[in-house]
Amino acid sequence: MACTHLLIEDAGAVRRITLNRADKLNALNRALLGELGSAMQQARHDDAVRVVVLAGAGDKAFVAGADITEMADLTAAQAQAFSQ
């Protein structure tokens, strides 16, 4: 799986997924959330993976929350879908 916003590493039965938007304090945008959902589903269906560790890149924040700059351009329907 090719990811733009995630780093994925396996060490035995442990899969480490790192949110990789340190310049934005790992704020969650639609692209990152899509990749994260896919990565978690992939881990769920991989019998070799027993544990998933979720981490944030950088040393300032694990995750800042939603990327509000992206949210400003959403329609009401898109914002509702984003929040779910």
Ranges 25-34, 48-57, 71-80: which has the least confidence: 71-80
Amino acid type, 18: T
Q: 3-state SS string over 5-62?
A: CEEEEEECCEEEEEECCHHHCCCECHHHHHHHHHHHHHHHCCCCCCEEEEEECCCCCC
| pLDDT tens digits along 9-49 | 999 999 999 999 999 999 999 899 999 999 999 999 999 99
* Domain parsing of the chain, residue ranges: 1-63
Q: For residue 82, which of 27, 19, 5, 30 has the smallest C-alpha distance?
A: 30
State pTM to two decimals: 0.88
Q: For 1-63, CATH number?
A: 3.30.300.220
pLDDT for 63 beyond 80? yes
- Give 70's pLDDT tier (boundaries 50, 70, 90): confident
- Give 81's pLDDT tier (boundaries 50, 70, 90): confident
